[in-house]
Amino acid sequence: MSNKFSRRDFLKLTGVGAATTAILTGCGPASRYVKREPYMQMPEYNYNGLSTFYATTCRECAAGCGLIVRTSQGRAIKTEGNANNPLNLGKTCARGQATLHGLYNPDRVTDPMKGDSKITWDEATQVVADALKNNKPEEIAFLMGTAPDHLFDFVSDLANAAGINVPVRFNALSMFESRATLSKAAENLFGKTGLPFFDVGGAQIVLSFGANFLETWLSPVSYTRGFAGLREAQTKMRGKFVQFEATMSSTAGKADEWIPLKPGTEAMVALAIGKLAAEMKGVSASAFEGANPEDAAKKSGIKLEALEHIAEMFAHSGGALAIPGGAALGQSNGLAVAEAVLALNALADNFGKVGGVYISALAPMQTEYHGPASAQEMQDFIKNMADGKFKVLFVHGVNPVFELPAALGFKAALKGVGQVISFSTFPDETAAEANYVFPDHHGLESWGYQRVATGAAQPVLSGAQPVVSPFYNTRATIDLLLAAGQIAGGKFALTFKDEVEFLQSKVAPLMNEADGFFSAPDINTFMASFQQYGGWWKTTDGRTVPAAADVLNKSMSGAESKFAGEGEFFFVPFVSPTLAEAGANKPWLQELPDPTTTVMWNTWVAMNPKTAEEMGIEDDDVVRIVSEFGELEVPVYKYPAIRPDTIAIPFGQGHTAYGRYAENRGVNPTDLLGQNFNEAGDLAFAGVKVKIEKTGKKKPLSRLESIMGVYGVGMGEEH
Amino acid sequence: MIKRLFDWLIQPLGLIAVSIAVLALFSLAAYGINTTQQPPAQPIQFPHRTHIAFGVQCLYCHPGAARGPAAGIPSQSKCWGCHQQIAKTNDPKSELRFLKAAVESGTPIQWIPVAQVPDFVQFNHRAHIAAGKNCEDCHGDMTNLTLAENPQVFNMGWCLACHVKNAGDDHAKLVKLTDCGTCHY
Amino acid sequence: MIRPEEIKMSSEETGKWGMVIDQDICTGCQACVAACAMENNVTFVGEVDSGYGRSMHWIRIERFWEGEYPEVKMTPNQPMLCQQCGHATCEPVCPAFATVHSQSEQLNLQVYNRCVGTRYCANNCPYQVRSFNWRDYERPEPLPNQFNPDVTVRRRGVMEKCTFCIQRIHKAQDKAKSEGREVVDGEFTTACAQACPASAITFGRIDNPESLVSQLGHRSHGVKHLEELGTLPNITYYKGG
C-alpha cells in the first residue's frame, strides 16, 4: 500500500471486510442450531413430516361450506373445500382460504378480559353465573351471528328452560342480502316462509335484479357453481345472463348484458318485462296489467327496444329465471321488487323445475324456516337496550357496533345495558365497548355444527370439529355457559357435561332418519362418521316447490321507490366481495384486489368519470359524502361502469378496532345510512340520496392496476 | 476528521492495526466455520451405539424415514415404552435421569438436530430409502457413536455426486436426479 | 436470436404440465389468489408497497374495459400466472442460472438460493408474472405457524413466481411411486384449481391425450397468450361468450 491510499480504496476495503464478516458469520452456529421438541405422546395416526387432514365447517360466513384442513405437527396449514359436502363440493371462496389468517392472527384475544386486564376463567365463570342469577330472566339477552349453529340451539334451549329472551341472530351480510325481504315475498306469494333458491345452473337465461350472487349473496360458492353450469356450453347451449343494476358489480361484470337502470325503478321494469313477455307468450296475467313498458323505459333510462329484446329472450327461452336481490331489495319498495321479480318466474313457469325457483331445503332437524333479524327488528332490540329493559347482553359471532348503521344507535344503547359480555375471539368494536370479553375458540379450534340455510339441494348439517388444539387461553362459550349455569343453579343448570355431549345429544336423532349420507348403529360410530365426513346430509332433494297457482293474479305495484335525503346522487353501498363484514383483520384478504377496481387495503367511492370531470374531481381526490344520517370522507375512483347519477362504496373497511390490519383503514358506508326500512323491515340501504363536496385533500389508493411511481404519482411517502 | 483518520491509518502503525483487525476478522470467521462442523451439545448424551448394540433398528425410533420427508425424533412416550422397564433408568447418576425427569414432569426434551439441510432444500427420506440407500450411507456408522455426528458436510456437491453415480447410464434418471426442481422449490 | 420461421406455435405440444383456464366462467372472486398465497407462503406487502406494484401475487385476475358508459363492457376476467413457457424469455437472461428450465418436469424453475436479485427475468417476462421481494416483509407471530413446510420461505432480494405447485407434483409422484403406479389424472391439482368455485381452472398432463386438460385443450377456440413471441406457453385460455 502506498501513500496514495484514497478514500475510495478505503471504502472498498471496509466493504469487502463487512461482506466477508456477513457471509462467514451467516454460516455460524446461531442460524444452524435450532431446537426440536418431539411430541410427548405422538397420536398414533400421525407421522413426522406427514400431514393429517380434518373435516370441519367454515365459519367465515353463514353459508356453512365444508372444509378439509391440512394440519402438520399440530398446526393448521391449508384449508380446502370438503368434496363430500353437497353445498360446496370441494370448493372455497377467498375468505375460506384466508380463515387461517384469523386463526394465527397476531391480534386475537388471548385471555378472558375484564376491561383491559386479564382475569382467570374461574372468575369469568363466576361473572357469567352472577349475570344469569342476579337478573330477571327477561332482562337477559343474547345477540348472535346469522349462522344457525349449535350455539344458537344451545342458547335457544337455555331460553326455553330458564325463560330468558330468545337469542336474536343478525349480521351485516343478512342485512345487505335483504333476507327478510326475500322470505317475506315468498310468504306473500306462496303462502309459505322460506328462502327461495334459484337454480342458476339449470337455466338458459337469467335476469338478475341487483342480486350479487357471485360475490357474497346467500351462498356464493354454491351460486358460483351454478353460474359455471349456466355458462357451460359443451352439452347444452351456453346460458345468457342479464343484470339490472345501477353500478357494475363484479357479478354484473360477468353478465352478457348489463342494464344500468335508474335505482328505484326495478319493480316497474320487472313488471314491464312481464307484460311484454306475457303478450309474446299469449298468457293473460293480471299481475302485469298495470305496467306500462313505454313509461317504464322512460323512467328507468332503458331503451324500449332493449326491454322488448330482453322480454323476448325471456319469453322464448326454455329455461328462464329471474332473481331479485342486493340493492334492488334494499329500497323503500324492496318487497314490491321481490314480488314482481318472483312473478316473472311464475310467468316463466319454472317453479320446482330444473333452472327454476325452489324453496330451499330445511336443514336436518328443522321444521320451519327461521330467518335472522331484520334491521327493523334490530331497531326494536336497540330500543329495548336503551330503555334499560336488558340488564345483561351477551354478544357472540357478530360485531353490531361496526355492522349496524351508526345512526341506529347501537353503541349509545349499550350504555343502557348494565353488563355487556362479548365472546369475541377478536378485539372488535363491540368487544371494545363490552365490560367483559370471554373469548370463544376460533372456528377451527372448536366443535359444532351449522345448518345450511340455502344453496344445496339436500338438507345439510355441516359438522365442525377442532383441527388444532386451542392456541390461546380461550374457552368454548357453551362450556362456559354450562359451568356458569351449574353455579347459578335452578333452571340454568343444564345437565350436559360439556359442549361435545350437547352436540351429541343434538345430532343423535339423525341416526334414525332415513336417506342419510351415512348411517351408524350406535352414537359413537355415528359421531366418528360425522367428524370424518364433516357433517350429515340426506341423499334426497329436500327443496320444495313454491305454490304457483295464484302468483300471476296477485296485484303488483310498480311504483318508484322513495329516497331519503335531498342529495343529487343515488347511493349504493355494496359488500366488498373479498372482505365482507369480518375479513378486514386478515392481511391477505386486505391485499386481494377488488375484482372490479383492483383497489387493495382501502375504501373508495366509485364515480362515473364524466360526472367526476364535470365536478372537477380527479382519481384519488378525497370527497365528503353527506347524507341525511351522516357523512364521511373517501377517495374517488373514476369507475367507467356506473350511472352518472349514482355512486357506490364498498362495505368492509372503516374499523376503529379489530386488530392492526383493520384499524383506521378506509370508511364504513353504513355511516350514511339510518332509520329507513322497506315493508319487510330490511334496511333500505340503497334508498338514500347523498351530496358530494370536494375537500381539496388527496389520498392515493393502492391498486393492483398500479399508477404509483409512474407519472409522478406517489403514495405520499418516499419509497 | 475523516482525513485525519486516513492520515493515521496509512502510517506503518495504522497499517499494522488494519492488518490485525483483518486477521482477527478472518480467524473469527474460521472459528465460526469450524463450529458448524462440530456436533452440537445435546440435552442428553444419547448413546446411539448402545441402542444399536441392543439390536434396535434405526426405523424403530425414526419410522418417518420410510414413509415421508422427515425421519423424526421419537416421542418421549416411545422412549419410555422401553425405559420404564429398564432398571438403569432409575439410576440417579446415569444420563437417563434427564429422560426420567422429562417424562415425569411432562416437559419435552429439546434436541438439537444434527443432520440438517438448509430451508431452501426440500429433502425426502422416503425416496432415498426406497432407492435402496441405507441410513449409514449418509449418516455414517452409528454403531460407534454416542451423539450423532455428520460424517460429511451435507452440501450440494456431495448430494449431486451421489445422484450422478446412482443414475449411471439411465439418461431419464439422470435428468430427474440432477434437475434443480427436484430439491429446490 | 430466433428468426420468425423458427418460432414454434402451440400446435406442437412440447410441455408436460399444463392448464386450461375458462375465462367465460371465471368470476374474478380471488379465491385462487388467496389459495395460492396460503399454499405457497406468499407474503403480503402492505398498503404502500402494494400501491407501488410490489405486491407478491403469483396469480392475478386481470380485467379490462371496452367502450364507454353506457355501452361499457368488462372483458372476461383473465387469471394471469406464470405460463411455464416451453421456450421462456426469462431463462436465458439470468446471469446466475437461478431461473432454469426443468428438463424432467418441463417447468420454469426459480431456484431461490441461487437468485441474486438482478430482476432481469422479471423485466424480460412478457406476462409480467414474476414478483420480487423488495424487503423482508414482516409476518408477525403467530402468523408463521401457517407456513407450508413444503415450500421455501423467501427473503429479501429474491425473485419468485408461480411454480405450478411443484411441491404437490412431487408429493403426488412420490406417493404414486411408493405405491408402484403412475400418477393418475386428477389425483392432485394446483391450489388455485382446487379452490376455484367455478372450476374455471383445470390442471394436468398435456402430454397425455387422455387427461382432462388435454381434452379441454383441444377445443377449437383456445388462445395461448403472446405465443407469437415464440414462448410456447403451456396455458390455454378460453374467452367464451
C167 chain-B contacts, CB cut-off 8 A: 122, 185
B residues 17..46 contacting A (CB < 8 A) = 18, 21-22, 25-26, 28-30, 32-33, 35-36, 40
C195/A92 touch (CB, cutoff 8 Å), yes or no: yes
Tell me: pLDDT of C13 over 60: no
The CA distance from B52 to A546, in Å, is 75
Judge whether C84 and C17 are in contact, CB under 8 Å: yes
Number of domains in chain B: 1
Tell me: pLDDT of A491 over 60: yes
Tell me: pLDDT of A20 over 80: no
The CA distance from A677 to A683, in Å, is 4
Q: How many CB atoms lie within 10 A of CB A482?
A: 23
B118 chain-C contacts, CB cut-off 8 A: 113
- Bridge-based pairing of strands A569-575 and A646-651 is parallel
Nearest to A40 among B36, B76, B125 (CB): B76
Higher-confidence residue: A193 or C118?
A: C118
Closest CA to A310 of A222, A229, A205: A205
Task: Let me know if residue A545 belongs to a domain.
Answer: no
Residue of chain C with shortest Cα separation from B172? C104
- Could you identify the residue written with the cell 298495470? A290
Task: Let me know if residue A562 belongs to a domain.
Answer: no
State the average pLDDT over residues C216-233. Answer: 88
C residues 37..96 contacting A (CB < 8 A) = 37-39, 44-53, 55, 57, 60-61, 63, 65, 68-70, 72-74, 77
Query: Residue A352 carries which side chain, given as an amino acid letter?
Result: G
State the average pLDDT over residues A547-566. Answer: 88
Judge whether C216 and C56 are in contact, CB under 8 Å: no
Residue of chain A with shortest Cα separation from B123? A49
Chain A adjacent subunits, 3+ CB pairs under 8 A = B, C
DSSP single-letter state for residue A578: T
Taking CA atoms, C104 is separated from A383, A569, C185, in Å, by: 69, 60, 18
Task: Let me know if residue A385 belongs to a domain.
Answer: no
Nearest to C197 among A224, A233, A610 (CB): A224
Query: Residue A24 carries which side chain, given as an amino acid letter?
Result: L
Task: Let me know if residue A674 belongs to a domain.
Answer: yes
Judge whether A217 and A326 are in contact, CB under 8 Å: yes
CA triple A582-A583-A584, angle to 5 deg = 100
Question: Percent of chain C scored above 90 by pLDDT?
Answer: 81
Least confident among A4-8, A223-227, B148-152, C173-177 = A4-8
Quickly state the pLDDT bin for B161 (edges 50, 70, 90).
very high
Judge whether A389 and A137 are in contact, CB under 8 Å: no
B180/C102 touch (CB, cutoff 8 Å), yes or no: yes
- Could you identify the residue written with the cell 370424518? A532
What pLDDT, on a 0 to 100 scale, did the predictor assign at position A3? 43
Closest CA to A677 of A181, A118, A128, A66: A181
- Could you identify the residue written with the cell 374474478? C28
The CA distance from A92 to A61, in Å, is 12
The grid coordinates listed for C8 are 414454434
Task: Let me know if residue A664 belongs to a domain.
Answer: yes
Question: Hey, is the C-beta of B71 within 8 angstroms of any chain A C-beta?
Answer: yes
Question: Hey, is the C-beta of C140 within 8 angstroms of any chain A C-beta?
Answer: yes
User: What is residue A327's three-state secondary structure?
Assistant: helix
Question: Hey, is the C-beta of B144 within 8 angstroms of any chain A C-beta?
Answer: no
B116/A20 touch (CB, cutoff 8 Å), yes or no: no
Query: Residue B147 burial by CB count (10 A; 0-12/13-18/19+): exposed, middle or buried?
Result: middle
Question: Hey, is the C-beta of A642 within 8 angstroms of any chain C C-beta?
Answer: yes
Judge whether C240 and C76 are in contact, CB under 8 Å: yes
C residues 207..236 contacting A (CB < 8 A) = none
The CA distance from A372 to A147, in Å, is 8
- Domain extent for B14: 2-36
What pLDDT, on a 0 to 100 scale, did the predictor assign at position C6? 56
CA atoms within 13 A on the CB side of C33: 31
Beta strands in A217-335 (DSSP E): 240-244, 257-259, 320-324
CA distance C6 to chain A (A): 35
Judge whether B11 and B17 are in contact, CB under 8 Å: no
A10 chain-B contacts, CB cut-off 8 A: 6, 9
CA distance C22 to chain B (A): 28
Task: Let me know if residue A134 belongs to a domain.
Answer: no
The CA distance from A280 to A277, in Å, is 5
The CA distance from A561 to A269, in Å, is 12
CA distance A39 to chain B (A): 5
C104/B120 touch (CB, cutoff 8 Å), yes or no: no
What pLDDT, on a 0 to 100 scale, did the predictor assign at position A647? 96
- Could you identify the residue written with the cell 493515521? B8
Model ipTM? 0.93
The CA distance from A399 to A584, in Å, is 13
Q: How many CB atoms lie within 10 A of CB A92?
A: 28
Q: What phi-psi label fits residue A396: left (phi over 0), alpha (psi between -120 and 50 degrees) or beta?
A: beta
A residues 24..63 contacting C (CB < 8 A) = 49
Nearest to B130 among C102, C104, C178 (CB): C178
CA distance B102 to chain A (A): 9
- Could you identify the residue written with the cell 446415569? B94
Chain C adjacent subunits, 3+ CB pairs under 8 A = A, B
Judge whether A665 and A602 are in contact, CB under 8 Å: yes
Question: Hey, is the C-beta of C177 within 8 angstroms of any chain B C-beta?
Answer: yes
Q: Domain of A208: which CATH number?
A: 3.40.228.10
State the average pLDDT over residues A148-162. Answer: 93
Q: How many CB atoms lie within 10 A of CB A77?
A: 22
CA atoms within 13 A on the CB side of A326: 34
Which of B44, B112, B128 best tests the A interface by mutation, with the highest count of A CBs <10 A? B112
Judge whether A575 and A176 are in contact, CB under 8 Å: yes
A595/C63 touch (CB, cutoff 8 Å), yes or no: yes
Residues in chain A whose beta carbon is closer than 8 A to a beta carbon of chain B? 1, 3, 5, 7, 10, 13, 17, 20-21, 24-25, 27-29, 32-42, 47-50
User: What is residue A67's three-state secondary structure?
Assistant: strand
How many residues would you count in chain B? 185
B124/C104 touch (CB, cutoff 8 Å), yes or no: no
Beta-bridge mates of residue C18: C204
The per-residue pLDDT for range A492-506, each reduced to its tens digit, is 999 999 999 999 999
The per-residue pLDDT for range A610-653, each reduced to its tens digit, is 999 999 999 999 999 999 999 999 999 999 999 999 999 999 99
Nearest to B181 among C105, C177, C178 (CB): C105
Judge whether A409 and A438 are in contact, CB under 8 Å: no
- Could you identify the residue written with the cell 337455466? A203
Which of A73, A89, A93, A242 best tests the C interface by mutation, with the highest count of C CBs <10 A? A93
CA distance A205 to chain C (A): 14
Tell me: pLDDT of A544 over 50: yes
Residue of chain B with shortest Cα separation from C109? B181
Quickly state the pLDDT bin for C7 (edges 50, 70, 90).
low
CA atoms within 13 A on the CB side of C117: 9
The CA distance from A113 to A436, in Å, is 6
Average confidence score pLDDT of chain A:
90
What pLDDT, on a 0 to 100 scale, did the predictor assign at position A193? 86
Give the H/E segment covering residue A54. strand A52-57
B122 chain-C contacts, CB cut-off 8 A: 150, 152, 167, 170
User: What is residue A177's three-state secondary structure?
Assistant: helix
Nearest to A719 among C52, C191, C241 (CB): C52
Cis peptide bond prior to A587, omega within 30° of 0: no
The per-residue pLDDT for range A360-418, each reduced to its tens digit, is 999 998 888 989 999 999 999 999 999 999 999 999 999 999 999 999 999 999 999 99
Query: Residue B98 burial by CB count (10 A; 0-12/13-18/19+): exposed, middle or buried?
Result: middle
Determine the distance from the C-alpha atom of residue A700 to the mean position of all C-alpha atoms in its chain, rounded to a whole number.
28
What totals of helices (H) and strands (E) does chain B contain, helices first?
12, 0
CB proximity list for A452: less than 8 A, separation 6 or greater: A63, A64, A87, A219, A363, A459, A460, A461, A462
State the average pLDDT over residues A46-64. Answer: 90
In this structure, the dihedral spanned by the alpha carbons of residues A655, A660, A664 and A666, taken in order and rounded to 10 degrees, is -70
Which of A4, A9, A40, A45 best tests the B interface by mutation, with the highest count of B CBs <10 A? A40
Q: Domain of C144: which CATH number?
A: 3.30.70.20
DSSP single-letter state for residue C77: P
Number of domains in chain C: 1
Judge whether A564 and A570 are in contact, CB under 8 Å: no
A25 chain-B contacts, CB cut-off 8 A: 28-29, 32
What pLDDT, on a 0 to 100 scale, did the predictor assign at position A26? 40
DSSP single-letter state for residue A38: P
DSSP single-letter state for residue C67: S
The CA distance from C147 to A73, in Å, is 12
C61/A595 touch (CB, cutoff 8 Å), yes or no: yes
Size of interface A-C (CB pairs under 8 A): 201
Terminal CA-CA length for chain A: 41
C52/A706 touch (CB, cutoff 8 Å), yes or no: yes
Quickly state the pLDDT bin for A58 (edges 50, 70, 90).
very high
What pLDDT, on a 0 to 100 scale, did the predictor assign at position A25? 39
Judge whether A165 and A159 are in contact, CB under 8 Å: yes
Closest CA to A71 of C148, B76, C151, B122: C148
CB proximity list for B15: less than 8 A, separation 6 or greater: A1, B9
Interaxial angle between packed helices A477-488 and A150-162, expressed in degrees from 0 to 180 and rounded to the nearest 10: 10
State the average pLDDT over residues A692-699. Answer: 93
The per-residue pLDDT for range A249-303, each reduced to its tens digit, is 999 999 999 999 999 999 999 999 999 999 999 988 898 998 999 999 999 999 9
Task: Let me know if residue B144 belongs to a domain.
Answer: no
- Domain extent for C226: 4-238
Terminal CA-CA length for chain C: 38
Judge whether A155 and A145 are in contact, CB under 8 Å: no
Question: Percent of chain A scored above 70 by pLDDT?
Answer: 94
- Could you identify the residue written with the cell 449411471? B168
The per-residue pLDDT for range A588-599, each reduced to its tens digit, is 999 999 999 999
Task: Let me know if residue B94 belongs to a domain.
Answer: no
Task: Let me know if residue B174 belongs to a domain.
Answer: no
Nearest to C47 among A221, A224, A601 (CB): A601
The CA distance from A157 to C134, in Å, is 55
- Domain extent for A25: 1-36
Tell me: pLDDT of C196 over 90: yes
The CA distance from A582 to A402, in Å, is 10
Judge whether A669 and A592 are in contact, CB under 8 Å: no
The per-residue pLDDT for range C82-138, each reduced to its tens digit, is 999 999 999 999 999 999 999 999 999 999 999 999 999 999 999 999 999 999 999
CA atoms within 13 A on the CB side of A208: 34
Number of domains in chain A: 3
A39/B69 touch (CB, cutoff 8 Å), yes or no: no
Question: Hey, is the C-beta of C174 within 8 angstroms of any chain B C-beta?
Answer: yes
